[in-house]
Amino acid sequence: MSKLLILAEHANGKLNPATAKCVSCAVKIGGDVHIAVFSDSGQAVAEQAARLAGVSKVLNIEHADFTDPLAAMIAPELAALASGYSHLLAPSSMYGKDVLPRAAALLGVNQVSDIMSVNDARSFTRPVYAGNAIIEVSVPEDMLVAATVRTASWAAAEEGNSAEIEQLAAQSERPSHTRFVELQSEGGDGPDLQTASVVVSGGRALGSAENFELIYQLAKKLKAGVGASRAAVDAGYVPNDMQVGQTGKIISPELYFAFGISGAIQHITGIKDAGTIVAVNKDADAPIFELADIGLVGDLFQIIPELEQALD
């Protein structure tokens, strides 16, 4: 039977929802599912992880060096823990993508990136070419499966469990060659982009940071997260953590609004899993309309205020 270890992602004492999505993938693979929490004081996070349905054990590994999530610290620990497991999983968030390949290389195995679906315990599908093709990847029989899980493809595991929590000590030597300096977080106070059920995004068409207020206001009214195209980020209208797409966040809200976004394939990659896509663009030939479920041709500077009024 498979035995799976999931790398938990967390910050400020909170388990990131990406971990619960990883659990769903692990449950689909089937077997004994464990979660590893690395931190300087992880009991609260471990307890949240222990509540996830399908988890049989949480490993809580505390060390003062684990305050900041550095791949150079965590990967050797994860590699040391991996013996006895058939699968090593992490969310394909920036964190998972940073740590897991480093651990896989230490273990001498290739990694399967971005699992979309599970065929069997060793065979998966994943996107390539910015989601323009889906491939089947299988891992040989006697080899550890190291994989990241494409969170937009998986629902979060339910809560209501109370798995055992085991305290473990750090095992490997921790390098001094990598030092955390700071995290510059600019994120607003709205719902998190990756878990929000409604997301409102703006593109280059907004024209300035001031004009982007229009998007924030509408989002507030809809209790929505706020996203942006790369062009809007590059032009400095919004911070980088709001970018949606191939090199930003892959999201799967129930409802997605794209205002003044042309629909480049790198942007589309990030929103393909959305339930309903609404596009507003003044160019009737914009590629975004090929994908949108509901399209409206028009000037966003007129349409957004009208929409806000209609919502009142």
Partner 1 sequence: MKVLVFIKRVVDYNVRVKVRPDGSGVDTDGVKMSINPFDEIALEEALRMREAGQADEVIVVSAGTSDCQQQLRTGLAMGADRAIQIDTDKPLQPLTAARAFQALVEQQQPGVVLLGKQAIDDDNNQTGQMLAALWGRPQATNAAKIELSGDTARVTREVDAGLEVLDIDLPAVITTDLRLNTPRFVKLPDIMKAKKKPLDVVALDGLVSDAGNDLKIGNWSPPPQRGKGIMVDDVAGLVTELKSRGLL
Ligand X SMILES: Cc1cc2nc3c(=O)[nH]c(=O)nc-3n(C[C@H](O)[C@H](O)[C@H](O)COP(=O)(O)OP(=O)(O)OC[C@H]3O[C@@H](n4cnc5c(N)ncnc54)[C@H](O)[C@@H]3O)c2cc1C
Neighbours of 260 (CB within 10 A): 28
> b vs e for 113-122, b when ≥16 Cβ sit within 10 Å of the residue's Cβ?
bbbbebeebb
Alpha carbon distance 19, 297 (integer Å): 39
Alpha carbon distance 220, 127 (integer Å): 33
**Is residue 160 within a helix (H) or strand (E), and if so which, with residue range?**
none
| Residue among 24 and 281 whose Cβ is closer to ligand X | 281
x/- letters, 252..291, toward ligand X (CB under 6 A): --------xxx-x-xx--x---------xxxx--x-----
| Residue among 159 and 306 whose Cβ is closer to ligand X | 306
Q: Which does 59 bind (CB under 5 to 8 A by kind): ligand X, partner 1, none?
A: none
Q: Does residue number 72 form part of the binding site for partner 1 (CB under 8 A)? A: yes
| Residue among 27 and 205 whose Cβ is closer to ligand X | 205
Shortest distance, position 66 Cβ to partner 1, whole Å: 15
Q: Does residue number 71 form part of the binding site for partner 1 (CB under 8 A)? A: yes
Q: Which amino acid is at 45?
A: V
Q: Does residue number 137 form part of the binding site for partner 1 (CB under 8 A)? A: yes
| Residue among 28 and 204 whose Cβ is closer to ligand X | 204
Terminal alpha carbon distance of the chain: 55
Q: Does residue number 121 form part of the binding site for partner 1 (CB under 8 A)? A: no
- Lookup: tokens for 191: 């719902």
Cβ within 8 Å of residue 182, ≥6 positions away: none
- The interface with ligand X within residues 122-141 (CB under 6 A) comprises none
x/- letters, 219..248, toward ligand X (CB under 6 A): ----------xxxx----------xxxxxx
Work out the angle between the directed axes of helices 71-81 and 94-107 (0-180°, nearest 10): 50
- The interface with ligand X within residues 202-221 (CB under 6 A) comprises 203-205
- The interface with ligand X within residues 51-90 (CB under 6 A) comprises none
Distance of CA 5 to the CA centre of its chain: 18
- Answer yes or no: are the C-beta atoms of 272 and 242 closer than 8 Å: no
Q: Which does 261 bind (CB under 5 to 8 A by kind): partner 1, ligand X, none?
A: ligand X
What residue ranges bind ligand X (CB under 6 A)?
Answer: 203-205, 229-232, 243-248, 260-262, 264, 266-267, 270, 280-283, 286, 299-301
